[in-house]
Amino acid sequence: MSKVTSPVQAIAGNLFKTSTAQEHELGAKIITSDGREYRYCKAGGTALVAGKLQDGSVVVANHANVTVATAASIGAIAVTVTLGATAATANQYANGYMVVNDEAGQGYIYQISSNPAVDSGATLELTLYNEDGLLEALTTSSQVTLVAHRYKSVVIHASTEASEPVGVAIVDIAAASYGWLQVTGLCSCLSDATPATVGASVAASETTDGAITLGDGVLAVVGYAPLLTVSTEYSAVFLTIG
C-alpha cells in the first residue's frame, strides 16, 4: 500500500500564504474551525486567480494507453513503459498514479514514487510507491495510463474541459508557486452568464474560464448555490469537491 498519513489537520498558520518553496505534501488537507476544507497545491505555468475555479493536472495524451516495454512480475516495484510522442520530465509523475487499463494486470492502480526525464517515444522507468510491488504481473501486451498528482500542476479551469475541477483559489498564486485551494464550504467564486437559483447545483462552466454555472446534470457537480448567483459576478457558493 502507498504510505498513509492523517487526512486532516488543524490550521494554525496562514491559509493565504503562498511560497516558491514547497512547505506541505501536495493534496494535504486542512479543516478550519468552521468546517471549511482546503487542499495544498502547486500552480502550473500560469498564475492562479482568487475566486476562480481551478483544474487539476491534465492527462498527457501521449502518456495514456501506452504499452509496457518489459514484462514485470508480481512484487516488482519498477515498471518500464514506452511513451508516445511527448517527453517526460524528471518526477513528472512523482506521487501520481499508473492505471493498468488493458490486458494483464488490468483494473489495478499503483502510486508512483519517481521517474527520470526521458525523450518522446523513449522508454520510461517508473518506480512505484507501493512497497509490496505489483499485485498482478504485467506483460508487454499490458497497457497503462500515467496520471500526475491532481494538485501538482493546477491551472485556471478551462471552459474546454481539459481536466477535472479541484478547488477554488482563495488568493492569487504565482505560476509554479504553492498555496491553498478551498474544496468544501462557503466560498466566493466567479459565475458565468447562467445564474444558479437558490439550492441548485453548480458545475464547472463550459463558456467562461474559471467560472461555475448552473448544474446541467451532465458535468460533475462542484457544489450548490445557497443564494441566487449573479451573472458574471463573484457569488457565494458552497463547495462539495472534497
pLDDT in tens, 81-108: 999 999 999 999 999 999 999 999 999 9
The Cα–Cα gap between 194 and 1 comes to 44
Confidence band for 140, pLDDT divided at 50, 70 and 90? very high
pLDDT at residue 131 in the model = 76
Contact 15, 38 (CB under 8 A): yes
Mean pLDDT value of segment 185-198:
95
pLDDT in tens, 111-138: 999 999 999 999 999 999 877 799 999 9
SS3 241: coil
Q: Which residue has the higher pLDDT, 5 or 180?
A: 180
- Residue-wise burial string across 148-187, b where 16 or more C-beta atoms lie within 10 A, e elsewhere: bbbbbbbbbbbeeeebbbbbbbbbbbeeebbbbbbbbbeb
Contact 180, 43 (CB under 8 A): no
Mean pLDDT value of segment 167-182:
98
pTM for the complete prediction?
A: 0.88
**Distance, CA of 154 to chain centre:** 7
Averaged pLDDT of the chain: 93
Going from the N-terminus, what domains does the chain have, and what CATH number goes with each? 29-57+152-240 (2.40.300), 61-147 (2.60.40)
The Cα–Cα gap between 102 and 114 comes to 23
Least confident of 32-36, 108-112, 179-183: 32-36
pLDDT at residue 3 in the model = 46
C-alpha cell at 61: 495524451
pLDDT at residue 212 in the model = 96
DSSP per-residue codes, 164-220? -EEEEESS-B-TT-EEEEEEEEEEEEEB-SSPPPTT-EEEE-SSSTT-EEE--SSSP
Q: What number of other Cβ atoms are within 10 A of residue 109's Cβ?
A: 14
Indicate whether 69 pLDDT > 50. Answer: yes
The DSSP letter of residue 159 is T
Contacts (Cβ under 8 Å, ≥6 apart) of 217: none
pLDDT at residue 4 in the model = 42
Count of positions (residues) in the chain:
242
C-alpha cell at 37: 476544507
Instruction: Please give the helix or strand (H or E) that residue 102 lies within, else none.
Output: strand 97-102
